[in-house]
Structure 1
Amino acid sequence: MKTLTLSDKENIALKEIRNSIINFGRCPSLRDLMKTLGYRSPRSASLLIDKLISKGILRRNSNGSLQIIRDFEDKANVQTIDIPLLGTVPCGMPILTEENIQAVFSVSTKLAKPPHKYFILRAKGDSMNKKGINDGDLILVKKQSTAENGDAIVALVDNEVTIKEYSASAYAIVLKPCSTNKTHKPIVAGNDFQVQGVVVTVIPNL
């Protein structure tokens, strides 16, 4: 099998795209890439993107946005698996669908342990900051439909995705905020409640 190699410019471009998706939830513009790479024309940046697409690193979606479909970093002697980073999840949609994937990142198997399935989400708000989950953080989530009391979970409630602490009793399932912001209130789960996964760790930067 032929070993895949990237040029210095291709590595810089991929790193810029990866960082932009992680920090801003979107790919950089061609002009941003042009400046980062020191090119004088957006076309040069566009041609470099085409090379990354031809090498199977990137894919261009129907709306023109770029998706990382293979993470490429030098991780010698480190076993990794590819984990999808999900974008904004439309209300009422299953959380793990192809159109919601912004990128695929390599994560150490010490964190994402096979054969379990995982995904990465970007946290919004401060409802779980006492658990170390702050606005804009990335969280690694193990996909499962059950949870234990005290777990930080990703749940689907009333067709909206939320991150809360799971608490179940004989009377009710309660999703508790763990926040310094006292405006956040517990949610009593109804029949439409679903556990999507359990938070494994916070990933400040992949």
Structure 2
Amino acid sequence: MGKKRTDRYSGIVEYINQYYAENMRYPSVRDIVAGTGVPLSSVHRYLKEMDENGVLQYDGRRSINTTEMGMESPSRYMKVLGYVECGEGQEEEESVIEYIRMPESIVGKGEFFALIEKGESMIDAGIYPGDYVIVRQQNTADVDDYVVALYEGKNNLKLLQKEDDKYVLRSCNKDKETYPDIYPDDLKIQGVAVCVTHKLNHN
């Protein structure tokens, strides 16, 4: 096999993987033509050749499977529902800012949403302003879970604990005067935080 053809194979496979990762669907032949610059007739031929050689699987229509696709962890799509004030709370509302995708191997199974943290009440838990907090949507939680809970009409991201058989929504910040504990009479859990993503600080 000539180097030019090998390079074309590699370029097509790379484009298919990138397209699938970004769109979660297979590219059409015309998408591949537009993305790689390879002529339409050649793309058809190369896909069939790569299918015969075991480089990828192609059914002659739209279904294309590469080795990399088979290795990819299932993903969870979720809404980013605005900001959550870890200090004083954020008014409960659903305002979709964007959609993101996280690997199931990291977040687990379930229905998820994400919030962007604004306050500093959770910095001792490693949650900082601007972080994306990934939340599994559920109305129950265990003690010592990090929860999004509704209190006085506002969403709060807090550590759930118990004192004298009463639930406490606790900040993770040593400044207790600024970030006091919350003792809800009626605990309403919106979800449990499962992971946090943030940029590394290069100071």
Establish whether TM, by shorter chain, passes 0.5.
yes
> Residues 159 and 3 from structure 1, CA distance in 2 versus in 1: closer, same or farther, beyond 3 angstroms?
same
Note the C-alpha offset of 1:149: 1.1
Which residue of 1 is the match for residue 182 of structure 2? 187
Distance 2:126 2:79 in 1: 22
Distance 2:91 2:179 in 1: 20
**Contiguous gaps of at least 5 residues in structure 1:** 9-74
Q: 3-state SS of the aligned residue for 1:136? A: coil
Matches within 5 A, 1:1-206: 3=27, 5=31, 76=69, 77-78=71-72, 79-88=74-83, 91-93=91-93, 97=94, 100-114=95-109, 116-169=110-163, 171-182=165-176, 183-191=178-186, 193-204=187-198
Which amino acid letter does the alignment assign opposite residue 188 of structure 2?
Answer: Q
- The Cα RMSD (Å) is 2.6
Structure 2 contact 112–137 (Cα < 8 Å) conserved? yes
With normalisation by structure 2, the TM-score equals: 0.57
Which amino acid letter does the alignment assign opposite residue 91 of structure 1?
Answer: E
> Residues 88 and 201 from structure 1, CA distance in 2 versus in 1: closer, same or farther, beyond 3 angstroms?
closer
**Contiguous gaps of at least 5 residues in structure 2:** 1-24, 36-67, 85-89
> Residues 109 and 172 from structure 1, CA distance in 2 versus in 1: closer, same or farther, beyond 3 angstroms?
same
Q: For each residue in 1:95-139, what CA deviation from the matched residue of structure 2 results, as whole angstroms up to 9, or x when unmatched?
A: xx4xx221111110112323x111110011110111111111111
Structure 1 contact 126–181 (Cα < 8 Å) conserved? no
With normalisation by structure 1, the TM-score equals: 0.56
Q: For each residue in 1:55-100, what CA deviation from the matched residue of structure 2 results, as whole angstroms up to 9, or x when unmatched?
A: xxxxxxxxxxxxxxxxxxxx8432212111112577344xxx4xx2
Higher helix share: 2
Percent of aligned pairs with the same residue? 25
> Residues 171 and 81 from structure 1, CA distance in 2 versus in 1: closer, same or farther, beyond 3 angstroms?
closer
Tell me the number of residue pairs that the alignment of Structure 1 and Structure 2 aligns: 132
Which amino acid letter does the alignment assign opposite residue 116 of structure 2?
Answer: R
